[in-house]
Structure 1
């Protein structure tokens, strides 16, 4: 079955598809930068108790990722079809980039 038509039941099934949608190095790097800024914003909000910083999380997280997809990867973000699996994939790919399992 074509992966564009398949409905993934588990994250283990989904993650290879997710990685295939992130072959472009610039796209992966933009995801990494966005995720890093998300973590920094969470830390800043916790440290300063400036909770209004938290509204920036989706703007930064999705903003960097979607620029990567629309302008470099030239595909539609998996978030639209698989929001939870896609969010999980972002953080697994982030970890895999940190540990060198996925090329920077």
Structure 2
């Protein structure tokens, strides 16, 4: 079955959440995002610009690992790179603020999966 093509971010966001339906997948993403952000902060604080490479390396490593081993689907990054990047940070900060569950419900992700 062919993948649906999304033309608006509003339509893409629920798809993104459904592609991250398992808590373990999201946890891998959170680890990668947090480590990537830590690399950015260190790069800025220590004036070591090479550490900026840690953001994409950590982020993509943990995300792609989770899609290969947990979710067993193709990362949306390959089709929607910018929207996937925005959505990863959006999911991370919604999780930290305790507001992700409502977004998951609206996207049709069953609770506890």
- Fold match by TM threshold 0.5: yes
How far 1:87 sits from its partner (Å)?
A: 0.5
Q: What residue in structure 1 maps to residue 105 of structure 2?
A: none
In structure 2, C-alpha distance between the alignment counterparts of 1:25 and 1:5, rounded to whole Å: 23
CA RMSD, 1 decimal:
1.6
Q: Say yes or no: does 1:24 pair with 2:22.
A: yes
Matches of residues 44-83 of structure 1 in structure 2 within 5 Å? 44-83=42-81
Contact 2:29 2:88 (C-alpha < 8 Å) held by counterparts: yes
After superposition, the C-alpha distances for 1:48-76 in whole angstroms (9 at most, x for unaligned) are 00111112221111001011110000101
Q: Cα distance, 1:102 vs. partner? A: 2.4
Q: TM-score, normalised by structure 2?
A: 0.84
Mind listing any 5+ residue stretches in structure 2 that lack a counterpart?
102-111
**Is residue 90 of structure 2 the alignment partner of residue 92 of structure 1?**
yes
Which residue matches 2:109?
A: none
**1:75 match: secondary structure:** coil
Name 1:37's counterpart in structure 2: 35
CA apart distance, 1:15: 0.3
Instruction: Identify unmatched segments of 5+ residues in structure 1.
Output: none
Aligned pairs, number = 102
